[in-house]
Amino acid sequence: MTAWGPILATTDFSGPARHAVDRAAHLAHETGSTLSVMHVTPGEVLAELRRWLGTGHSSESQLAQANRQQLQQLVDAVGTARCIVAKPVQTNGSVLEEIRREGDALDAALLVVGARGAGFMRRLVLGSTSERLLRRTTRPVLVVRQTPHEPYRRVLVALDFSPWSAQAVAVAQHVAPQAHCVLFTAYEVPFGDKLRYAGVDEATIEHYRVQARADATQRVNALAAQAGLLPGRWEACVVEGEASQRIVEQEQERDCDLVVLGKHGRSATEDLLLGSVTKHVLAEGSVDVLVSTAR
């Protein structure tokens, strides 16, 4: 098996973060990739400790030692369970900058975080730290929501036919090489409500709807052919409506366990990740989410 590339998982030792590390170990075993597991003690935590107890207090070294031991125990446990050797990485400072620095040092192919966490990991996924990390990184980010029991089985890849869509399919194939692929796109009749208001008859609007669906289906088929997806290993999912709502509906209806989104939309200035689609999928969906960041 040809290794995909280094995987970097981050943990704050919470339960959800443990799921993320376990999934990262599963992927490392499946893809033949190396795995590093990183814990960052936030700089503000150390600053607060020093403010109350003074610089050089024994509690600071005790905290560092406890974190190292807990990280090593976690690495040993997932390594044994998944038959891999994982590397622990313990550091202090800005969580965002330390993750970026380590990702760059490893040239990581994938960053893995938990969907919920305690302390900095919760802020990392749900707050401004997450937005800054995901806006700046050029590395795919996997947000883990579920306890991993098996390799991903069915992956929904959301397409908008921007230059990022083909890369989203490629990343999905790396992360879930054995999974059945659902290529999803949502279409809408341009100015549908306005056409009705303007008195355009329903037959004409229906004609536009049929044409929009046919165009979207053709583009999905073309992208699948371009990506080299084999017959029987993928299916098209072309639905009418607003994309974020339809993604959540279809991930459940089609029993998917991973959703893949491209970071950007149809133009370089439209950051889909920070817009309504990804926020809605992360807030309302129930499965893991992989954000592809490369064009």
User: What token pair was written down for 74?
Assistant: 């976690």
Is a pLDDT exceeding 80 seen at residue 42? no
Helices of type H across 118-164: 120-126, 128-136
Please write the tens of the pLDDT for every residue from 158-213: 998 887 788 899 999 999 999 999 999 999 876 556 555 566 666 776 788 889 89
7-144 and 154-292: same fold? yes
Spatial CA neighbour of 102 closest among 5, 4, 10, 3: 10
**What is the fold, at CATH topology level, of the domain defined by 7-144?**
Rossmann fold (3.40.50)
Q: Provide the percentage of residues in the chain whose pLDDT is more than 70.
A: 75
Q: What global pTM score does this model have?
A: 0.85
CA distance 211 to 189: 9
Please write the tens of the pLDDT for every residue from 95-121: 888 998 999 999 999 999 887 654 544
Parse the chain into domains and list their residue ranges.
7-144, 154-292
154-292: CATH class: alpha beta
User: What pLDDT is attached to residue 51?
Assistant: 67
Is a pLDDT exceeding 60 seen at residue 141? yes
Average model confidence (pLDDT) for the chain? 83
Pair type for strands 258-262 and 154-158: parallel
117 DSSP 8-state letter: -
User: What pLDDT is attached to residue 273?
Assistant: 43
Is a pLDDT exceeding 50 seen at residue 272? no
